[in-house]
């Protein structure tokens, strides 16, 4: 839990003259074009391929699974070592380019294997794009790491609001293949220049004002020594053998599966079970992202204030969100569920940097955050396919929804065993600053 000195910190206490906020602005735009918009667009292709090819829901949604598994493997095993060896910027540019190529590959989709190959190519980039943005932003923040991540992630929410309407507007004229291929152009044209311009390696002196919360603070040997003393004196090998580490990554994986399982199946659920028209279903999807945008600010402040305990409480909120899926039968109940999904989803994508930095500190960020993000991607990949498979075998979402409520509660219980070790050490070393 946060000490008394840190309780209440958040947007009202943030110094927006701090140069790290320029990096947040760049992250916002990259999230819009390279993550939020493309992610929100994926559910809109499922109905198209089911109609054209006659595939089952499981077959149609498995592209998200292939994308997620690929992203998870890249994040867990490759990004950390590659960033350590080559630096964040060249790795970032590479994965963004791969993602753009993946969306262009929709032009060649004419069978199941080419459909899944497209998901594989997108996965090579998209999961790593999310991770690289988080690394870029979180390098500049400790005291406001949750808020900064949330503000950058708002670009994802706005992308989720705008892109589905773009898809609905142009797909009847261009077809689903060309519509999705054009997403890659925006990714490459906007994200790459921003990555090249952003300062991704702050110095210790640049970080000190954010750590202390005071404007114009000059670096002193005493202040630098106090900050360094908070770092955990363990190797990465020792760290990953701790039960607490596995509680973090498994709880993140489980909750991501629940969240994305509901999200990726929402359009099928709304149109085929609740009987909504495609436009009404898309409007409900936009509500999810609009509420998610506002929810990110609340979640960022909440996580900065209450740390790991705040994330655990948010996981309990996910369980409540799933319960609200049961009564969906018309537009009004779909809006209630979409509102709850937006609130719950808004906090999830900004908890990774908080968990990584509050528990293990900056020293281990390049290795810990990729693993957390990779397991988040792994959960995101499996959740939609699991829920779709349960529907295909039972003809109903009821059993799947019940399972997801239980899984959300398990994730919260696992996170209750985690303590913000680095954050507590930093507060002790700096007198609660």
Q: Dihedral angle at the C-alpha atoms of 25, 31, 37, 42, nearest 10 degrees?
A: -170
Instruction: Return the SS3 of 30.
Output: helix
Rounded Cα distance between 121 and 98, Å, is 7
**4 within some domain:** no
CATH number of the domain encompassing residue 411: 1.20.1250.20
**386 within some domain:** yes
Residues 370-377, mean pLDDT to the nearest whole number: 87
Instruction: Return the SS3 of 10.
Output: coil
- Each residue's pLDDT tens digit, 87-96: 999 999 999 9
What percent of the chain is modeled with pLDDT above 70?
93
First-residue to last-residue Cα distance in the chain: 15
- Residue 336 structure tokens: 């209630």
Classify residue 105 by its DSSP letter: G
pTM (2 d.p.) = 0.76
Rounded Cα distance between 35 and 155, Å, is 9
**6 within some domain:** no
**406 within some domain:** yes
Which has more confidence, 294 or 227? 294
pLDDT score recorded for residue 229: 82
- pLDDT reading at 218 higher than 60: no
Contact between residue 322 and residue 404 where contact means Cβ atoms under 8 Å apart? yes
Distance of CA 210 to the CA centre of its chain: 24
Distance of CA 75 to the CA centre of its chain: 13
Nearest to 408 by CA among 248, 253, 254, 249: 254
Banded pLDDT at 1 (limits 50, 70, 90): very low
Classify residue 329 by its DSSP letter: -
247-264 b/e (C-beta count within 10 Å ≥ 16 → b): bbbbbbbbbbbbbbbbbb
Number of structural domains in the chain: 1
Nearest to 128 by CA among 187, 183, 70, 189: 70
Burial of residue 424, with CB atoms counted within 10 A of its CB: 0-12 exposed, 13-18 middle, 19 or more buried? middle
- pLDDT reading at 221 higher than 70: no
Report which listed range, 180-189, 210-219, 239-248, 363-372, is most confident.
239-248
Which has more confidence, 268 or 53? 53
**392 within some domain:** yes
- pLDDT reading at 211 higher than 80: no
- Each residue's pLDDT tens digit, 391-431: 989 988 999 999 999 999 999 999 999 999 999 988 888 76
Compute the 3-state secondary structure of the chain and give helix, strand, coil in percent, each to the nearest 5: 80, 0, 20
Rounded Cα distance between 274 and 180, Å, is 26
**343 within some domain:** yes
Enclosing domain of residue 85? 11-429
Rounded Cα distance between 415 and 118, Å, is 35
- pLDDT reading at 9 higher than 50: no
**3 within some domain:** no
Would you say how long the chain is, in residues? 433
Which has more confidence, 221 or 20? 20
Contact between residue 306 and residue 354 where contact means Cβ atoms under 8 Å apart? no
Q: If you average pLDDT over every residue of the chain, what do you get?
A: 85
The Cα angle at residue 169 between residues 166 and 171, in degrees rounded to 5: 95
Rounded Cα distance between 219 and 236, Å, is 28
**5 within some domain:** no
Within 10 A of 214 (CB to CB), how many other CB atoms are there?
11
Rounded Cα distance between 352 and 375, Å, is 10
Residue 374's alpha-carbon distances to 80, 268, 352, 378, in angstroms, are: 11, 27, 10, 6
* CA neighbours closer than 13 Å in the CB half-sphere of residue 324: 19
Instruction: Return the SS3 of 339.
Output: helix
Contact between residue 359 and residue 419 where contact means Cβ atoms under 8 Å apart? yes
Rounded Cα distance between 366 and 142, Å, is 15
Residues 98-110, mean pLDDT to the nearest whole number: 91
- pLDDT reading at 10 higher than 60: no
């Amino acid at each position: 839990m946060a000490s008394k000195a840190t309780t209440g910190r958040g947007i009202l206490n943030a110094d927006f003259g701090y140069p790290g906020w320029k990096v947040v602005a760049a992250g916002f735009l990259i999230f819009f074009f390279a993550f939020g918009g493309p992610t929100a667009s994926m559910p809109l292709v499922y109905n198209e391929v089911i109609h054209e090819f006659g595939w089952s829901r499981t077959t149609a949604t498995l592209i998200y699974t292939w994308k997620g598994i690929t992203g998870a493997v890249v994040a867990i095993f490759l990004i950390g070592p590659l960033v350590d060896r080559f630096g964040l910027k060249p790795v970032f540019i590479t994965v963004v380019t791969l993602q753009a190529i993946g969306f262009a590959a929709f032009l060649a989709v004419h069978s199941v294997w080419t459909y899944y190959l497209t998901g594989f190519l997108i996965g090579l980039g998209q999961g790593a794009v999310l991770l690289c943005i988080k690394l870029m932003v979180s390098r500049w923040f400790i005291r406001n790491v949750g808020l900064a991540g949330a503000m950058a992630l708002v670009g994802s929410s706005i992308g989720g609001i705008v892109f589905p309407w773009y898809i609905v507007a142009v797909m009847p004229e261009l077809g689903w293949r060309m519509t999705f291929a054009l997403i890659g152009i925006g990714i490459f044209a906007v994200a790459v220049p921003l990555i090249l311009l952003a300062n991704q390696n702050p110095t210790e002196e640049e970080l000190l004002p954010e750590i202390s919360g005071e404007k114009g603070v000059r670096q002193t040997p005493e202040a630098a020594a106090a900050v360094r003393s908070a770092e955990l004196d363990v190797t990465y090998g020792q760290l990953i053998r701790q039960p607490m580490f596995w509680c973090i990554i498994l709880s993140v994986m489980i909750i991501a599966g629940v969240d994305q399982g509901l999200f990726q199946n929402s359009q099928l659920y709304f149109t085929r079970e609740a009987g909504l028209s495609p436009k009404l279903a898309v409007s409900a999807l936009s509500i999810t992202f609009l509420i998610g945008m506002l929810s990110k600010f609340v979640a960022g402040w909440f996580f900065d204030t209450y740390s790991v305990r705040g994330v655990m409480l948010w996981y309990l909120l996910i369980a409540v969100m799933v319960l609200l899926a049961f009564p969906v039968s018309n537009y009004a109940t779909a809006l209630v569920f979409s509102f709850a999904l937006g609130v719950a989803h808004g906090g999830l994508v900004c908890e990774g940097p908080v968990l990584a930095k509050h528990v293990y500190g900056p020293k281990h960020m390049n290795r810990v955050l990729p693993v957390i993000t990779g397991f988040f991607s792994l959960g995101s990949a499996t959740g939609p396919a699991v829920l779709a498979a349960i529907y295909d075998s039972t003809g109903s979402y009821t059993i799947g929804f019940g399972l997801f409520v239980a899984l959300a509660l398990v994730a919260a219980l696992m996170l209750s065993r985690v303590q913000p070790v680095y954050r507590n050490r930093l507060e002790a070393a700096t007198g609660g600053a």
